[in-house]
Structure 1
């Protein structure tokens, strides 16, 4: 029987990486036929995978973590590699030998931290020739989580955008994509180590949250200069006061989009009581990434054309996945953390 290597977990202890073991398991096989555009059916040989906070937070979330997938499970939402098998009837134009980048949607059992993955057709697109497997693997969830909230907010040319949490994988994509979509002014928050990096990516204003209270700065700027925002993108997920005070710095009719945060009650409170918390004229929306091939391909082409920088914080060898998760949990990554799955002839 053909085998492959895969990182797997069956337990849900803290920290997440303590549950992981590198196992030799039967090689995944694509079904002979595909009947749904969401069937995980395209067999892809993985060359690189990136990891996201959701990869360790969701499995450890009370109740949800027990039922999100069958065990043993392999973590990892995002990957890049080469198509090996496409079943008959699969709704795709991809063919064996194509270089691709992909993203899983929940729930799934066989994630990207393995030598092979069963790719979901609605989350697989061609990898442009100018991008490496490492760059391709870094795009998926983070880039979609940047583009989709901005489009949900109906961003238009000339808008002012505030991004709370600009230095991580999602935030750095959000900053760049907001500018690509015509934002006239983008303000981001970050720690001192990332201030210059945020400016280099196009931020018009950077608030160092270690040196100043974010809400106080936003309120003072609105009062002193008249700068009010059309869109707030909340990537931090734990600062109630930003939304509660947004009537001081968000235009009437503006929108506050909550991207991060796994606390259901935290989000529910904002959705039930938006009028009381934001002055009554600002809209609140929560957001969860979903696969859309057209959007994924558009992002890949932006990166290929040099319009979008894919920032890689660090690359880890496949055998060092535990170290990769430990760094991710530390919250200090400047860009994406990528795991390489070595293959002959890789780029």
Structure 2
């Protein structure tokens, strides 16, 4: 029987990486109907995978994490590699040998920290020849989670956007894509170590949250210089006062998009009764990434055309995945964390 290696967990203790072990399991095949993915799926030999906070936060979410994914389970949403098999009836134009990158819309039993993955047809696209597998693996969820909230907020030529949390994997893409969509002014919050870095990515104004009160600065700027925003992109998820007082620095009719998770109770209240819970006339939107092949391809072309930079914080060997998770949980990554597949000849 053909086999493959995969990182798996069968327990859900903290820290998350303490549950992970490398196992040798039967190699995945490309069925015409996957019971896990609910659709014919593409067998892909992985060359690189990148980590996202959801990879460890979702499994550890009380109740939800324990019942969402059958175990033993392999974590990981994002990957890049080479198509090995496409079953009959699979809705794709991809063929064996194609270089691809992709993402799962939601964690499921067979994730990206393995030698093979079954890719969802709507979440796998060709990797341009000019991009490496490491770059491709780093796109997926982070880049989609930057583009889609900006589109949800209708950011376009001449717009103004505040990005709360602009230095991580998602934030670094959000800054750049806001400019690519035509934003005239982008304000970003980050720590002192990343101020110059996010300016280099295109931020017009940077607020160091460690040295000042972010909400206080935003309110003062609105009062003193008339700085108002069309939208707020919330990538941190822990600053409730940002929404509660955003009507003072966001234009009436503006949008507050919650990308990073926050307290479920507060989110529910904002969605049901936003006018009574702060924000005034600012519309509240909660965001969950979805697969749109055309958007994945658009992102890849931006990178291929040197319009969008892929920031890699660190690459880890396959056997070092637990170290990669420990770094991700530390919250100080400057860009994406990538785990290479256990194979020679990778690029």
Q: Normalising by structure 2, what TM-score?
A: 0.97
Q: Which position in structure 1 is the counterpart of 2:5?
A: 5
CA RMSD of aligned residues (A): 1.5
Ranges in structure 2 where 5+ consecutive residues have no aligned partner: none
1:134 to 2:141 alignment: no
Q: Judging changes above 3 Å, is the alpha-carbon distance between structure 1 residues 79 and 222 closer, same or farther for their aligned structure 2 residues?
A: same
1:265 Cα deviation after fit? 1.3
For 1:146-295, list aligned pairs within 5 A. Answer: 146-261=146-261, 263-295=263-295
Q: Which position in structure 1 is the counterpart of 2:64?
A: 64
| SS of corresponding position for 1:24 | strand
Q: Judging changes above 3 Å, is the alpha-carbon distance between structure 1 residues 93 and 202 closer, same or farther for their aligned structure 2 residues?
A: same
| SS of corresponding position for 1:175 | helix
For 1:256-335, list aligned pairs within 5 A. Answer: 256-261=256-261, 263-335=263-335
Partner Cα distance (2:26, 2:324) in 1: 25
For 1:117-128, list aligned pairs within 5 A. Answer: 117-128=117-128
More displaced 10-residue stretch of structure 1: 298-307 or 103-112:
103-112
More displaced 10-residue stretch of structure 1: 9-18 or 267-276:
267-276
CA-to-partner distance for each residue in 1:246-270, whole Å, 9 max, x for gaps? 0110000100000001532121122
Does the CA-based 8 Å contact 2:40-2:87 persist in structure 1?
no
1:32 Cα deviation after fit? 4.3
1:278 Cα deviation after fit? 3.5
1:82 to 2:114 alignment: no
More displaced 10-residue stretch of structure 1: 307-316 or 31-40:
31-40
Does the CA-based 8 Å contact 1:37-1:122 persist in structure 2?
no
For 1:45-60, list aligned pairs within 5 A. Answer: 45-60=45-60
Partner Cα distance (2:267, 2:164) in 1: 16
Q: Judging changes above 3 Å, is the alpha-carbon distance between structure 1 residues 75 and 19 closer, same or farther for their aligned structure 2 residues?
A: same
Count of matched residue positions in the alignment of Structure 1 and Structure 2:
347
Q: Which position in structure 2 is the counterpart of 1:31?
A: 31
Q: Normalising by structure 1, what TM-score?
A: 0.97
Q: Which position in structure 1 is the counterpart of 2:346?
A: 346
Partner Cα distance (1:44, 1:263) in 2: 36
Ranges in structure 1 where 5+ consecutive residues have no aligned partner: none
1:40 Cα deviation after fit? 5.5
Partner Cα distance (2:83, 2:213) in 1: 49
Partner Cα distance (1:332, 1:45) in 2: 30
CA-to-partner distance for each residue in 1:45-84, whole Å, 9 max, x for gaps? 0000000000000000011101111100000000000000
